[in-house]
Amino acid sequence: MDQLINQWIDPYYMRIIILVGINIIMALGLNITTGVTGQLSMGHAGFMSLGAYASAILTVKLGAPFWLAILAGALVAAAFGFLIGLPALRLEGDYLAIVTIGFAEIVRVFFLNFEPGGKAVGLSGIPKETGFTLVFVITVVVILLTAWLLNSRLGKAFYALRENEIAASACGINTTSLKVWSFVIGAFLGGLGGALYSHYMYFISPQDFDFSRSIELLNMVVLGGLGSIPGTILGAGILTILPEMLRVVAEYRMLFYGALLVILMIFRPNGLLGDVRIYDLKKRLGKKEVNTCRS
Amino acid sequence: MFWQQLLNGITLGSTYALIALGYTMVYGIIQLINFAHGEIYMLGAFTGLFLVTVAGVNIGVALLGAMALCMLAGMLVERTAYRPLRGKSSRLSPLISALGVSIFLSNLMVLIVGVNTRRYPPEYSLGSFQIGGVQISSMQLIILVVSALFMIGLQYLTHKTKVGKAMRACSQDLEAASLMGIHVNRIISFTFAIGSALAAAGGVMVGLYYNAVWPYMGTMAGLKAFAAAVLGGIGSIPGAMLGGITLGVLEIMGVAYISSSFKDAIAFGILILVLIVRPQGILGRKLSKKV
């Protein structure tokens, strides 16, 4: 299947498509933590890094099968998501932001000094197991699962928690366990994306998962629209493709990228598709005719 | 050894404190983490460097020049990237806008001067002297004195002057302050100017102290200073000073007695531990939420 597709699509475009898929998976995770539940996490790269390293060490050093490695990577990240979710119970907004930034920095410094991970040099020779089909299937499954989750009781409780924590707890929502859950789910998807990433890239180093990577992921969620699955997919797509398209302006690339973030925020302060959910889109499409009749 | 490390820690901490003040003042008024603040600090360090090397002025003049330029830069950033967003969006979009400005400024500097590390001319590495076994370099003394002066000045400004009173009023309630006839936008601009000037002073002095200035120096320094502001209790000016010095001392002690390769992790580890015990920071007020 992959070979067939590789014949038809240029490897450069293929690479972008696969990275879009991986970014969608990770951004959807962050969307649950930050977009839906409103717990500002600026250290998602930390979870990605844990997933990437844990899975790569399993396949490279211990010869574990690929599927086990990505599952283990995601679970390791989820375990750390649980740990980071605990301080989140007492912290709010920007205090939480700096704790998550700090967490990602600690993870980065840890891997800079971690012998099995190759220290600052990085870990190379990771088998290239991630292909288009796998990323595509996992992305679709993740999109469907998160859409189902957000539409479920748990998902609605997440939205309630973001809108008003006190009101939510007064309605009998257990805010404590929900906050931890939002971190665990977000971290799991971050780790999953990281594991897929490391098995696509051959090579990872701690520099791949620095603060700017966390920011990139947060940008995808905020730009697309907080709490919106279609928005997050759009945001991940745009922010993965945009830097590639900006290659035409060569050394001005990052300059444009920064300026575009500011401009986009000024014109669409709530993101491109703020809080639009998949079933809203369906409803809106279905309603079109009704609306014209009513007016 | 211990006293030497303590001195080094306080020196580093005072520069963190100078940057942290900008974060905390802006946060106190508009609840925005100004992620572009680290880049203003970097801009200050470069302006100082160019005034010294290219324009050939005295280092004191260079410090003032860098502060003046960064004041303008800070106000310009606020005007273009934050003001259009104020009041019409969630709190996250100004944050992304700030991150955009931060990427823009550091890459602008890369385009202008390249990625290489620049150094101040050697005549500024002045001598040092000893007091009771502790080696104090003149640069450390300058940093300590200048930071102390700025902090006292800031304390005077916020508590004894009319504009300071207006700033405090804005940080309590922006809307009520505007009803009392305070030009809120002007006060916010002013706050950015003061914060940026302090960051620029920090930038020039750190550039001299470590003798290294490069375009990405603002990112880590900005994160550390933000951590310091949160550690002290964000929004509180004495908190930022205390947080900065605490973080500086603990970081240097960690490097000296634990391990230097974990330098950045130590600062954040301490921060997380403190916040778990005291979620509002050392001097932060605990706000009870109203329904």
CB atoms within 10 A of CB A280: 13
* pLDDT given at position A133: 86
CB A54 within 8 A of CB A191: yes
Q: What is the dihedral of CA B264, A84, A20, A267, to 10 degrees?
A: -90
Taking 60 as the threshold, does the pLDDT of residue B245 lie above it?
A: yes
Alpha carbon distances (Å) from A241 to A12, A227, A245, A251, B138: 12, 22, 6, 17, 51
Structural tokens at position B178? 């505007």
* pLDDT given at position A290: 40
Torsional sign, CA A50, A53, A54, A56: positive
CB B250 within 8 A of CB B9: yes
Q: Which of B93, B110, B223 sits opposite A222 (nearest CB)?
A: B93
Q: A164 phi and psi, to 5 degrees?
A: -160, 110
Segment holding B135, helix H or strand E: strand B134-137
pLDDT for B125-140, tens place per residue? 667 777 777 778 888 8
Contact state of A105 with B223 under an 8 Å Cβ cutoff: yes
* pLDDT given at position A153: 87
Longest dimension (CA), chain A: 68
* pLDDT given at position A195: 92
Contact state of A167 with B291 under an 8 Å Cβ cutoff: yes
Rg (CA), chain A: 19
pLDDT for B175-201, tens place per residue? 888 898 889 899 999 999 999 999 999
Residues of chain A with pLDDT under 70: 1, 274-295
Give the residue carrying structure tokens 């003001």. B83
Contact state of B103 with A87 under an 8 Å Cβ cutoff: no
CB A85 within 8 A of CB A180: yes
Amino acid at B248: G
Q: Which of A90, A93, A269 sits opposite B93 (nearest CB)?
A: A269
Q: Which of A261, A264, A273 to mutate to test binding with chain B, by most B CBs within 10 Å of its CB?
A: A261
Amino acid at A157: A
Structural tokens at position A295? 């007016």
Q: How confident is the model at residue B76 (pLDDT cuts 50, 70, 90)?
A: very high
Provide the CA B51 distance to its chain's centre, in angstroms. 21
Highest mean pLDDT among B49-63, B80-94, B98-112: B98-112
Spatial separation of the C-alpha atoms in residues A44 and A27, rounded to whole Å: 9
Q: Which of A87, A113, A260 sits opposite B276 (nearest CB)?
A: A87
Contact state of A255 with B88 under an 8 Å Cβ cutoff: no
A4 exposure class (CB count in 10 Å sphere: 0-12, 13-18, 19+): exposed
* pLDDT given at position A289: 43
Q: How confident is the model at residue B276 (pLDDT cuts 50, 70, 90)?
A: confident
Q: Which of B97, B227, B289 sits opposite A98 (nearest CB)?
A: B227
Closest A-chain CA to B227: A98
Q: How confident is the model at residue B101 (pLDDT cuts 50, 70, 90)?
A: very high
* Residue B114: strand, helix, or coil: coil
DSSP, residue by residue, B63-82: HHHHHHHHHHHHHHHIIIII
Distance from CA of B183 to the nearest CA of A (A): 23
* pLDDT given at position B191: 92
* pLDDT given at position A283: 61
* pLDDT given at position B119: 83
* pLDDT given at position A140: 94
Structural tokens at position A16? 């972008």
* pLDDT given at position B194: 92
* pLDDT given at position A292: 36
Residues of A in contact with B107 (CB under 8 A): 254-255, 258
Segment holding B129, helix H or strand E: strand B128-131
Interface residue A215 vs chain B (CB under 8 A): yes
Distance from CA of B71 to the nearest CA of A (A): 20
* pLDDT given at position A284: 58
More confident residue, A282 or B1: B1
A191 exposure class (CB count in 10 Å sphere: 0-12, 13-18, 19+): buried
Mean pLDDT across chain B: 86
Q: What is the dihedral of CA B6, B10, B16, B21, to 10 degrees?
A: 140
Taking 60 as the threshold, does the pLDDT of residue B54 lie above it?
A: yes
Residues of B in contact with A99 (CB under 8 A): 271-272, 275
* pLDDT given at position A288: 46
Spatial separation of the C-alpha atoms in residues A29 and A73, rounded to whole Å: 15
Query: Quick one: average pLDDT of B224-242?
Result: 86
Q: Which of A101, A103, A166 sits opposite B223 (nearest CB)?
A: A101
Contact state of B271 with A226 under an 8 Å Cβ cutoff: no
